[in-house]
Chain A
Amino acid sequence: MSAETRDIIGLLAGIAPGSSLEAIRERRSQARENAQKSYLALFEPTDFETFGATERHAAAAFVAGVHGEPEVANFYLAGLAKSVDGPALVEALKAEIERGKTSGPYGAFPPGPLSVEDKIGLIYRVAEARKATLGARLAAALEHAHLLVFRPRDATAADLQVLLDAGWPTTAIVTLSQLIAFLAFQVRAVAGLRALGASLAPGKSRG
């Protein structure tokens, strides 16, 4: 991969070209290339269908932001700012990210022996004052994203009905779900590789 086509995970994790970590990643070149293709299929698809670039970047920025991963969130916010109606959304999203931050995973198991492990936590809803800016469709997507990030075991068919009612067709719900879940992967790959890279930096103790 040339510098121009560096994969986003490597870029955000700060992996230096020519480093030992880059060489290790080369051994899983299919995983690296297909993680990058996943990113491209989600954010630069040949056909956006009913799920536009603005909504895609907004949802991704929110997922990264509520994870407490500002570098990744800023990457998607920068992408959002490039879209036609993106700039107006950036401030509203930043405010919603702060409102949505909490610690997970939590949620309920099916009633039974696992119920002792049930944990309650924030049920996030977009602030009424920001619904006009974000729109009902994006607001529903952000609420769904928060559900999937922090309490995926709480998800039910009714949550998909909420998305359908907010104007998300079935195929767009599949893409939205993939986007949220992909971001949950991407922020962890970035954070994990960044930590490993830091431990390999010159002058660092190998513990």
Chain B
Amino acid sequence: MDDSIVIQTSENQPVAFTQDELGWLPWLHPLPEAELTERHWAGLVDRSRSKSAYFRLLVRDPEVLEARTKTDKDIFYNTANGLPRAERELAAAATSRTNGCIYCASVHSRFATVHSRRSEDVQRLLDEGVGADLGARWNAVVRASVALTATPIAFGQQNIEELRRAGLDDAEIVDVIDSAAFFNWANRLMLSLGEPTTKVGA
């Protein structure tokens, strides 16, 4: 029944990194909204997420999705202490740029711009890649994210010292680690369960 792949026509596949809004099309069958039970609704956390094919696919394992979503929200939205939101989004964008997730990079580069108002610098990260010179503080965040994204993991004392020189305290460094580590989770789901499309609303 559901155990088949979904072939997308790929007519509108983006071929470059962008801050524009993109859609995402699944390669496996999401659960239809009508089939969602209370267990699934709990897994979605926000009821509005039932409109997203991505979350309706992941909600096939609701307990994992629920825990993942709550991890995500605390790492990125809990700005009571620690790193400013813009730099958490920068870490997510740099990680996505490194792994090659055009969809994730579009969302989080847009957020980085919204929270930093540095659209041109964010665009240079997308266009030139993770070697773009974005100033000492952003360079330190980008380099730490890239080092953490490498396999084997290349993050070490040099990154920590560079982050400290750029003015980050230990709590802010933990936020960089969490943000980059988390996008190594998100990128792999987005890249392997479906594809981006320039057609918004997909």
A178 touches B189 (CB 8 A): yes
Pick the interface stretch among B107-115, B116-124, B132-140, B151-159: B151-159
Which residues of A155-182 are within 8 A (CB) of B?
Answer: 155-161, 164, 169-171, 173-175, 177-178, 180-182
A17 on interface, CB distance cutoff 8 Å: no
Number of A-B contacts (CB under 8 A): 218
Closest chain A residue, CB of each to CB of B173:
A196
Beyond A164-B3, A174-B57, A196-B177, is A152–B151 a contact (Cβ under 8 Å)? no
Beyond A107-B100, A157-B27, is A195–B188 a contact (Cβ under 8 Å)? no
B81 on interface, CB distance cutoff 8 Å: yes
B114 to chain A, nearest CB (A): 22
User: B159: which A residues are within 8 A, CB to CB?
Assistant: 195
Task: State in angstroms the CA–CA spacing of A31 and B17 once bound together.
Answer: 29
B6 on interface, CB distance cutoff 8 Å: yes
Task: State in angstroms the CA–CA spacing of A20 and B61 once bound together.
Answer: 35
A18 on interface, CB distance cutoff 8 Å: no
B170 touches A38 (CB 8 A): no
Task: State in angstroms the CA–CA spacing of A69 and B70 once bound together.
Answer: 26
Q: Count residues of chain A with CB under 8 A from any CB of chain B.
A: 74
Closest chain B residue, CB of each to CB of A157:
B27
Which residues of B64-93 are within 8 A (CB) of A?
Answer: 64-68, 70-71, 73-75, 78, 80-82
B78 touches A30 (CB 8 A): yes
Closest chain B residue, CB of each to CB of A149:
B151
User: A191: which B residues are within 8 A, CB to CB?
Assistant: 148, 153, 155
Beyond A159-B192, A185-B184, A199-B157, is A42–B64 a contact (Cβ under 8 Å)? yes
User: A46: which B residues are within 8 A, CB to CB?
Assistant: 63
A89 to chain B, nearest CB (A): 23
User: B184: which A residues are within 8 A, CB to CB?
Assistant: 181, 184-185, 188
Supply 20 A–B pairs (Cβ within 8 Å), ascending by A. Answer: A24-B170, A24-B174, A31-B178, A37-B70, A41-B61, A41-B66, A105-B98, A105-B150, A112-B15, A148-B191, A149-B151, A152-B100, A169-B2, A175-B60, A188-B148, A189-B177, A191-B153, A192-B155, A207-B160, A207-B164
Which chain A residues have a beta carbon within 8 Å of chain B's beta carbons? 20-21, 24-25, 27-31, 34-35, 37-38, 40-42, 45-46, 66-69, 103-105, 107, 109-114, 117, 147-150, 152-153, 155-161, 164, 169-171, 173-175, 177-178, 180-182, 184-189, 191-193, 195-196, 198-200, 206-207
